[in-house]
């Protein structure tokens, strides 16, 4: 009985240490490699342009509701995926071996551009936007890794910054086991 307890305790310690190391690795990558992307002029310009449109939360919520039940080739989803900012996001992914997804959000958490297709239009009700936008102060948010059909994936979110202020956020989908 004591031996089983000892083995389980040791296993729990190993898992805890590995998880802590994975989060430290992700935070290091977030600070060193991903946060600077939040200052990229192409992403900043795209977010500023959408923020200037003054989308209402009523409009954003209606589009979010329609988005959730629509196929990826629906015109409003396709339009977002075809924006120059989305093409730029896909180009960034091609240069980063541990990354599989990027989506950029405005100051309300609505999608601005994306490398693929997100499950919903509004991210503002989720921790990835709330914690990285951080009421306009900006912060890095590293979510816990999760299993996605047998592949470990993780989301890391950073603010889109302009003149020292968060104007939006970017979420990166990464493979935690491929982080440098």
pLDDT tens digits along 34-49 = 999 999 999 999 999 9
Confidence of residue 23 (pLDDT cuts 50, 70, 90): low
In sequence order, the β-bridge partners of residue 72 are none
Place of tokens 């086991």: 177
Confidence of residue 18 (pLDDT cuts 50, 70, 90): very low
Is the confidence at residue 1, as pLDDT, over 80?
Answer: no
Is the confidence at residue 108, as pLDDT, over 50?
Answer: yes
pLDDT at 8: 33
pLDDT at 14: 35
pLDDT at 22: 55
CA 40 – CA 170 distance, rounded (Å)? 11
Percent of the chain past pLDDT 70, that is, above it, reads: 87
Domains, the chain, with CATH or none: 2-178 (3.30.450.20)
Average pLDDT over residues 93-104: 96
Opening angle at CA 33, ends 96 and 81, nearest 5: 55
Is the confidence at residue 154, as pLDDT, over 80?
Answer: yes
Average pLDDT over residues 120-134: 97
Cβ-contact 92, 125 below 8 angstroms = no
């Amino acid at each position: 009985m004591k031996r089983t307890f000892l083995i389980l305790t040791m296993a729990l310690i190993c898992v805890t240490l590995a998880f802590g190391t994975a989060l430290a690795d992700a935070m290091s990558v977030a600070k060193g490699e991903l946060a600077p992307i939040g200052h990229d002029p192409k992403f900043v310009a795209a977010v500023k342009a959408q923020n200037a449109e003054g989308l209402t939360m009523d409009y954003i919520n209606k589009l979010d509701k329609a988005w959730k039940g629509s196929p990826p080739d629906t015109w409003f989803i396709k339009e977002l995926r075809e924006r120059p900012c989305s093409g730029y996001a896909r180009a960034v992914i091609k240069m980063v071996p541990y990354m599989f997804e990027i989506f950029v959000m405005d100051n309300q958490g609505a999608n601005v551009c994306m490398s693929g297709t997100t499950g919903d239009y509004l991210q503002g009700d989720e921790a990835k936007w709330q914690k990285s936008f951080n009421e306009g102060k900006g912060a890095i948010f590293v979510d816990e890794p999760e299993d996605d059909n047998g592949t470990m994936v993780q989301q890391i979110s950073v603010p889109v910054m302009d003149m020292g202020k968060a104007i939006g956020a970017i979420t990166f989908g990464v493979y935690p086991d491929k982080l440098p």
